Amino acid sequence: MDRIRIHGQRRLAGEIPVSGAKNAALKLMAASLLTEEPLTLSNMPRLADVRAMGELLRSFGVGVTVSLGGGLGEGDQMRLAACNIQSAFASYDMVRKMRASFQVLAPLLARHGEAKVSLPGGCAIGARPVDLHLKALKALGAQVELADGYVLANAKGGLTGATIEFPFVSVGATETALMAATLAKGETVIENAAREPEIEDLARCLMAMGARIAGLGTSRLVVEGVKQLYGADYAVMHDRIEAGTYAIAAAIAGGEVELIGAKRQSNGALIDLLEKAGARVSDSNRGIAVHMNGARPRAVDCSTAPYPGFPTDLQAQFMALMCVADGSSVIKETIFENRFMHVPELARLGADIKVTGDVAVVRGVEKLRGAPVMATDLRASVSLVLAGLEAEGETIVNRVYHLDRGFDRLEQKLSQAGADIARIGE
């Protein structure tokens, strides 16, 4: 199995292109099931999760063709043609490996009238139930049963618009409700909808396919169901989590990096904290630029929250930065119950972190020291890469497959900006 080897203490300089967003791309791919006409997605990131979703869609009979983009900054193009849905079954094996597979449930149900999709089960970062997804589908008139670890959903007579009020914010459940409502009869109102930019991206793609949606970017989405959706061409939004990760890379390694395609607005909470920590973030005409002059970052507290708050998907990376900050910081994780799996691995690199419940207190040390490490999920893994950029000596990050799930050619992008990082075989 491949590993990533990093020799730390190199300043970063230059540009890093930001790829299309994993967490938008996967849902847009699922949305292709809503129409018999082809959906062509551009700016697609080259990721293991995207390939896995492609395989799942193929198993339903969807024609999936990919044309690879040129350089690092050019996304791939994917054409998805769900003319006939031949199967509406997503196995445990598939959904267990990639939770986003569960997002096929709503579009299969809305267009095909029935679906059998495995319950995802827990994962490395928490229990992650899907009760809100199922409540939303039931509110729209679906019959939903659970049997042998599977969700069996039926709406042969079609779905009917309704008001869905979520008790708390869920990205996935909002997307389920949104996709299902596009083909329901009449109006659906989604109250307390998640406002993550990836949801707006999904809504815009659905609108390009003929859906009628109002309230984009707000916590109240109103969908007027239509009889059918059509093919469209759509460019996936940039990956704000990838952009944020490289912004933190510049802050931890020091230097000056331009993140091509990044947008200040979608990373507001992070930029605010980076500036408090001593980085300078400026707008460039191609994205944003992050400068850190070599001084130690200042310690800043951080608490995760739904958008526009600080994203849980950047918590591990921000913690890596705080490990070398001047002073102590308090990092609170409010979205997932078990998202501190990177802590013992950061400690192997010399970090001083104490976790009590959902709070980590990080006492900054002057330097980290390289070591072999591994992590149990994508964002935790990349936090170890960031720590390795700062650490003295050699850091080896094992289980690279986590990184390949969600970071498009990470080692190439970082080495292009001056990092000493390479992928090595077993």
Burial of 341 (0-12, 13-18, 19+ CB in 10 A): middle
The phi-psi region of residue 384 (left if phi > 0; otherwise alpha if psi is between -120 and 50; otherwise beta) is alpha
The tokens for 165 are 């009020």
The phi-psi region of residue 255 (left if phi > 0; otherwise alpha if psi is between -120 and 50; otherwise beta) is left
The footprint of ligand EPU (CB under 6 A) covers 23, 26, 100, 126-133, 170-173, 194, 312-313, 335-336, 378-379, 406
Report in angstroms how near the CB of residue 388 gets to ligand EPU at its nearest. 19
Pairing outcome for strands 280-284 and 163-165: unpaired
Residue closer to ligand EPU, measured from CB, 194 or 252: 194
Residue closer to ligand EPU, measured from CB, 178 or 299: 178
Q: Give the count of alpha carbons within 13 A of 79, CB side only.
A: 7
Report in angstroms how near the CB of residue 363 gets to ligand EPU at its nearest. 26
Closest CA to 57 of 93, 94, 20: 94
Active site residue 302: no
Out of 123, 205, 302, 323, pick the active-site residue: 123
Report in angstroms how near the CB of residue 291 gets to ligand EPU at its nearest. 27
The conformation of residue 312, written as its DSSP 8-state character, comes to: G
Residue closer to ligand EPU, measured from CB, 162 or 371: 162
**What is the Cα–Cα distance from 32 to 108, expressed in whole angstroms?**
10
Residue closer to ligand EPU, measured from CB, 19 or 170: 170
Residue closer to ligand EPU, measured from CB, 116 or 339: 339
Residue closer to ligand EPU, measured from CB, 6 or 24: 24
DSSP-assigned beta bridge partners for residue 232: 39
Report in angstroms how near the CB of residue 309 gets to ligand EPU at its nearest. 10
Report in angstroms how near the CB of residue 289 gets to ligand EPU at its nearest. 25
Report in angstroms how near the CB of residue 367 gets to ligand EPU at its nearest. 28
Pairing outcome for strands 255-260 and 287-292: antiparallel
3-state class of 213 per DSSP? strand
Closest CA to 153 of 121, 171, 180, 173: 180
Residue closer to ligand EPU, measured from CB, 199 or 371: 199
Question: In the block, which residue shows the tokens 């406002």?
Answer: 195
**Which runs of E-coded beta strand occur in 271-323?**
280-284, 287-292, 302-303
Report in angstroms how near the CB of residue 304 gets to ligand EPU at its nearest. 9
**What are the residues whose beta carbons fall under 8 Å from the beta carbon of 169, sequence distance 6 or more?**
192, 193, 194, 195, 219, 306
For the chain, the 3-state helix, strand and coil shares in percent, each to the nearest 5, are 35, 30, 35
Active site residues: 123
